Amino acid sequence: MNPSSSSFLFLLVIFLVYSISASAIPVIGDNDVDEGFDPSKKLEGDKDNNNEFTLKVPTLELDDLPLDDLLSFNYYHKRCPDFEAIINRKVHEWINKDYTLAPSLLRLHFHDCFGRGCDASILLNHEGSERTAAASKTLRGFEVIDDIKAELENKCPKTVSCTDILSATTRDATVALGGPYWSLPYGRKDSRISIAKDADELVPMGHENVTSLLEFFQSKGLNVLDLVVLSGAHTIGRTSCESIQYRLYNYKGTGKPDSSIDAKYLNFLQRKCRWGSDYVDLDATTPRKFDNMYYKNLEKKMGLLSTDQLLYSDPRTSPIVGALADTPSVFKSQFGVSMARLADVQILSGKGEGEIRTNCNYVNSY
Ligand code: HEM
Ligand SMILES: *[C@@H]1O[C@H](CO)[C@@H](O)[C@H](O)[C@H]1NC(C)=O
């Protein structure tokens, strides 16, 4: 049997399962009806019977779509109508000046969601916060979020959470480099807590085995398809040489380089990374384009992080790598689905949970 067609079938099956599960996400986070701004409130029954589910019945707001996700996806339509337009314009301004900010924003979002959860805890800038952790050392893009936040505070004071800004900014930055668009349910709140240890313990750094990666992802409610698909974010961006140095000369105490690196590529990396302070593209072939080349590189032993290359050799992940390498369109559509799932990790949205920061760097003081 042709291995690539069997892996494609395998992917199709999980793809279907995921499409179903993904469509269920927004319902979970739908509790923005407490806030009093939403026109659907007029359909609300007796407030005291506290039957929140009646609020989720599709309303008669026919100008708003899609019906089943009405409350979350429309969260800012009345509260801050230009929310997405402002973000989109700012993202383009910044990316046009420096496209490397796009991958950095994508990584920032990932680190935020894997630290405590998607709650903008990564943005808090105080002693001992996630942002000060070793795992956060090379994170960038904070100034983009600050700039967007300032503009939004100007237009819609105390309305748009830093968490929603970070997710939407990441999405638009991905689209700007040729990646997919995905819809985001809004209304998530910002945390008042951020602890460096969370970042160092919960964010994988590239030295892990696949079992351990799967455990990291599973602990966030994500699984093997999300792992392989989201690792495809490494189709853009770069790593510090420091992060891969250990593969190049004395891998795991063998006195030799990691044998899973292509010989020519290894030679290139050794020259490129003579100085630990340098950077190297994660996707050796098309570093500026959001495409599926990342997976094709893995097939050529040109994965830059060992966690990338291992996805190709581990039997739990290799069929998915093969399928994504063969079908760029599946990678793009599934990347959007998995990113929306990532944005839903451990969010703060219940009554009294979190706050809407006025400055993403600091919690509000009262
Ligand atoms: C699967 C586990 C993952 C590991 C072990 C991992 C590890 C890393 C490492 C070590 C770097 C380079 C850091 C440096 O030295 O500068 C990096 C960069 C990057 N990561 Fe990941 N990552 C993972 C998953 C993800 C996910 C899920 C995303 C986003 C959806 C992502 C997006 C990125 C991007 C875009 C960059 C480039 C950043 C830049 O150019 O500034 N990574 N990652
Ligand atoms: C994977 O890594 C974990 C954590 O470092 C370790 O406990 C485990 O033994 C490793 N598993 C394999 C199969 O190497």
User: What residue segments make up the domains of the chain, in order of their start?
Assistant: 3-11+208-341, 25-48+65-202
Ligand 1 close to Cβ of residue 237 (< 6 A): yes
Q: Binding-site residues, please?
A: 112, 117, 119, 121, 130, 204, 234-235, 283, 286, 291
- Is 207 catalytic? The answer is no
Q: Is the pLDDT of residue 157 over 50?
A: yes
**What is the residue with the minimal CA distance to atom 18 of ligand 1?**
239
Q: Is the pLDDT of residue 8 over 90?
A: no
Residue 68 has a pLDDT of 28
Among all bound ligands, the one having the nearest atom to the CA of 245 is 1
Rounded CA separation 76/192 (Å) = 22
Among all bound ligands, the one having the nearest atom to the CA of 316 is 2
pLDDT band of residue 275 (cuts 50, 70, 90) is confident
- Percent of the chain past pLDDT 90, that is, above it, reads 77
Q: Is the pLDDT of residue 343 over 50?
A: yes
pLDDT band of residue 349 (cuts 50, 70, 90) is confident
Per-residue pLDDT, averaged over 41-57, amounts to 38
Ligand 2 close to Cβ of residue 212 (< 6 A): yes
- Percent of the chain past pLDDT 70, that is, above it, reads 80
Q: Which of 14-28, 271-285, 326-340 has the highest mean pLDDT?
A: 326-340
pLDDT band of residue 254 (cuts 50, 70, 90) is very high
Residue 277 has a pLDDT of 77
Q: Is the pLDDT of residue 230 over 90?
A: yes
Is the distance from CB of 179 to CB of 335 less than 8 angstroms? yes
Rounded CA separation 285/209 (Å) = 25
Q: Is the pLDDT of residue 1 over 50?
A: no
Q: Is the pLDDT of residue 23 over 50?
A: no
Please tell me which residue, 349 or 181, carries the higher pLDDT value: 181
> Considering the chain, what is the average pLDDT of its residues?
85
Per-residue pLDDT, averaged over 284-301, amounts to 97
Q: Binding-site residues for substrate, please?
A: 204
Atom index in ligand 1 nearest the CA of residue 206 equals: 5
Task: State in Å: Cα 280 to ligand 1 middle.
Answer: 12
Against a cut of 0.75, is the pTM above it?
yes
| Encoded tokens for 227 | 């792992």
Q: Which fold has domain 25-48+65-202?
A: Peroxidase; domain 1 (1.10.520)
Residue 10 has a pLDDT of 55
Per-residue pLDDT, averaged over 204-229, amounts to 97
Task: State in Å: Cα 14 to ligand 1 middle.
Answer: 24
Per-residue pLDDT, averaged over 327-344, amounts to 97
* Residues 6 or more apart in contact with residue 304 via CB below 8 angstroms: 234, 239, 244, 269, 280, 281, 282, 283, 284
Atom index in ligand 2 nearest the CA of residue 208 equals: 2
Cβ-based neighbour number of residue 183 at 10 Å:
13
- Considering the domain 3-11+208-341 in this protein, what is its CATH number? 1.10.420.10
Residue 352 has a pLDDT of 83
Long-range CB contacts (within 8 A, 24+) of 146-152: 146/359, 146/360, 146/361, 147/90, 147/94, 148/86, 148/87, 148/90, 148/91, 149/359, 149/360, 151/86, 151/90, 152/80, 152/83, 152/86
Per-residue pLDDT, averaged over 113-118, amounts to 95
